[in-house]
Amino acid sequence: MEMLDASIANVALPHMAGSLSSSNDEATWILTSYLVANAIILPLSGWISNTIGRKKYFLLSLLLFTVSSVLCGLAPSLSAIILFRVLQGAGGGGLQPVAQAILADSFPESKRGQAFAMYGITTVLAPIIGPTLGGWITDNYSWRWIFFINIPVGILTLMLVEQLVEDPPYLRLMARKAVKIDFIGIGLLSVGIAALQVVLDKGQEDDWFGSHFILTLTLVATVALGILIFWEWFHDHPVIDVRLFKHFNFLTSNLMMFGFGVMMFGTLVMMPLYLQTLMGYTAESAGLVMSFGGLFVLLELPMVGRLLGKVQARRLVHVGWAAMAIGMWFSTRHMDTLISFRAGSWIRVLQMVGLPFLFVPLTTVVYVGLPKEKNNSISALINFMRNIGMSFGTSIVTTILARRAQFHQQVLVSHLYPGNVYSSESLNMLSQALFHSGLSATGALNQAYGRFYQGVVVQAYSLAYIDGYQVFAIGAAVFFVLSFFLKGNRPHAPSGPME
């Protein structure tokens, strides 16, 4: 439900804006406020779990997420729902990393892969289902129900966690120790991440560094996060254990998880936009194209989980990045405005076929060589890297599409001049056809110019999408090479009970 809430409200924004008497630009803060609060809490969740106890923190996060969902559904104004979305993001930010840390402590190394595979189903599929489910609920009921559906799930989960989840002995000992609160670290983290998230969310909309607002926030984020890293490195009780990054395996795994977030969410944004804006698909039809890729992921995840019990995780990471690079390269060669529904579905399958070979093995290999006392911090940081990668992915895609479409349009238009025989003949033939269909000579010529321009715009954007897939293909190829430097886990480790 937490992963759904990060994307489910996107399609409901116009309805929410009208209902709350706000503009569409103002309503986007409903999304941004959630992402900011979520991004701040994610890296803090490991420290909070160690301080007050993981189970207690998980229950508090669940309670806050559920109650704030109710408040969001009842919100009478834009300012109220933004406040409640901040609370919801704060509650939701603790759920992903704590759930993953619970799994890491509940299963031996030989069984973690299968546990993370089941967990991975929600992580990979929720962003795909979110927009479609949000649109269906909004069209058939009300946008308020996209928040109310969290209530039964939240209540049931609270009951199950209370009865079934317990903190391991080492964590109970850590929670009993008095911990000094690093107020400076918390402050730097909150300011830096909040500024960065707003920059990523609003950057392209405000023309990036052409906006004083974005430029100021970029400087704030750079300074705050730079000081934070230095401060936490030398602090005795850091809120973020940045010293984990001196372990090459941990650093590499987090970089790859960041890249995973960029490409997973980047392609999730690109494909529906391409189908709806350039090919005229409805939201439902575009969702069906996307669903084929999701179906393959569902079938692959259990298989990957079983393989992790027999094969080193880094070997599967090799396969994942190779498949990702091939899928993106294939997209650059076969994406055009004449592809069929079937071809689009298979292209989406190729784009997603490598995801299970990345998410589950990376989630497993990041723990290699690190003590179990660090599990909370490890899960917090790798989930943070994935989520911030998703934000970067959206920003990268929107920027590439806008800037490269302008470039390609300029190049295409440069070929449409009166002296060009081919363009002049095509324009005359189209104008004559429109004239014979009943339009006046002037009207036919004007409409011919309009259709020519529309064709140029469609082709320019189509080429911009191809450029985006090309960037992702190169990125995946770089990560494929980097994956050979990962350390191996122990797939045949003893499967006795964990301490």
pLDDT (tens digit, 9 = 90+) per residue, 420-465? 667 777 777 877 887 777 777 777 777 777 777 778 888 888 899 9
pLDDT at 75: 86
pLDDT at 131: 66
Tell me the two tokens of residue 169: 């002995």
Round to whole Å and give the CA distance between 404 and 392: 18
Round to whole Å and give the CA distance between 222 and 370: 29
Residue 358 has pLDDT above 60, yes or no: yes
Round to whole Å and give the CA distance between 236 and 242: 12
Round to whole Å and give the CA distance between 460 and 404: 8
Q: Which CATH number fits domain 1-179: 3.40.50.970, 1.20.1250.20, 1.10.287.1120, 3.40.50.2300?
A: 1.20.1250.20
Q: Is there a contact between 135 and 334 (Cβ–Cβ < 8 Å)?
A: no
Residue 367 has pLDDT above 70, yes or no: yes
Q: In angstroms, what CA-CA distances link 149 with 16, 152, 176, 260? A: 17, 7, 37, 29
pLDDT at 173: 72
- Residues with Cβ within 8 Å of 454's Cβ and at least 6 positions away in sequence, in order, are none
Domain boundaries, the chain: 1-179, 245-499
- Chain mean position to CA 470: 19
Taking residues 244-261, report their average pLDDT.
88
Percent of the chain's residues with pLDDT above 90: 13
Residue 497 has pLDDT above 60, yes or no: no
Question: Quick count: other Cβ atoms within 10 Å of Cβ 277?
Answer: 14
Residue 60 has pLDDT above 80, yes or no: yes
Count of CA atoms in the C-beta half-sphere (13 A) of 116: 32
pLDDT at 433: 81
Round to whole Å and give the CA distance between 270 and 398: 9
Q: Is there a contact between 215 and 169 (Cβ–Cβ < 8 Å)?
A: no
Tell me the two tokens of residue 117: 């595979």
Overall fold of domain 245-499: Growth Hormone; Chain: A; (1.20.1250)
pLDDT at 64: 93
How confident is residue 490, by pLDDT bands cut at 50, 70 and 90? low
Round to whole Å and give the CA distance between 34 and 48: 20
Residue with tokens 């690109």: 270
**Rounded to two decimals, what is the model's pTM?**
0.78
Residue 499 has pLDDT above 60, yes or no: no
Q: Is there a contact between 264 and 392 (Cβ–Cβ < 8 Å)?
A: no
What letters, b where the CB count within 10 A reaches 16 and e where it falls short, cover 299-326? ebbbebbebbbebbbbbbbbbbbbbbbb
pLDDT (tens digit, 9 = 90+) per residue, 179-203? 677 788 888 888 888 888 888 877 7
* Torsion sign over Cα 207, 213, 215, 217: negative
User: What is the DSSP secondary-structure string of 2-66?
Assistant: HHHHTTTTTTTHHHHHHHTT--HHHHTHHHHHHHHHHHHHHHHHHHHHHHH-HHHHHHHHHHHHH
Round to whole Å and give the CA distance between 35 and 395: 13
Residue 498 has pLDDT above 60, yes or no: no
Tell me the two tokens of residue 296: 């393959």
26 CB burial (10 A radius; 0-12, 13-18, 19+): middle
Round to whole Å and give the CA distance between 392 and 390: 5
pLDDT at 283: 65
Q: In angstroms, what CA-CA distances link 148 with 68, 71, 74, 401? A: 10, 9, 9, 35
Q: What angle do CA 33, 36, 39 make, to 5 degrees?
A: 145
pLDDT (tens digit, 9 = 90+) per residue, 132-161? 677 677 777 778 888 888 899 899 999 999
pLDDT (tens digit, 9 = 90+) per residue, 377-409? 888 888 888 888 888 887 888 888 888 888 988
Round to whole Å and give the CA distance between 33 and 81: 10
Q: In angstroms, what CA-CA distances link 351 with 293, 295, 327? A: 8, 13, 5
pLDDT at 492: 55
Radius of gyration of the chain (CA): 25
Residue 495 has pLDDT above 60, yes or no: no
Taking residues 341-360, report their average pLDDT.
87
1-179 and 245-499, same CATH topology:
yes
Q: Which of 256, 222, 264, 497 is nearest to 390 (CA)?
A: 264
Residue 333 has pLDDT above 80, yes or no: yes
- Give me the chain's average pLDDT, please: 82
Residue 480 has pLDDT above 90, yes or no: yes
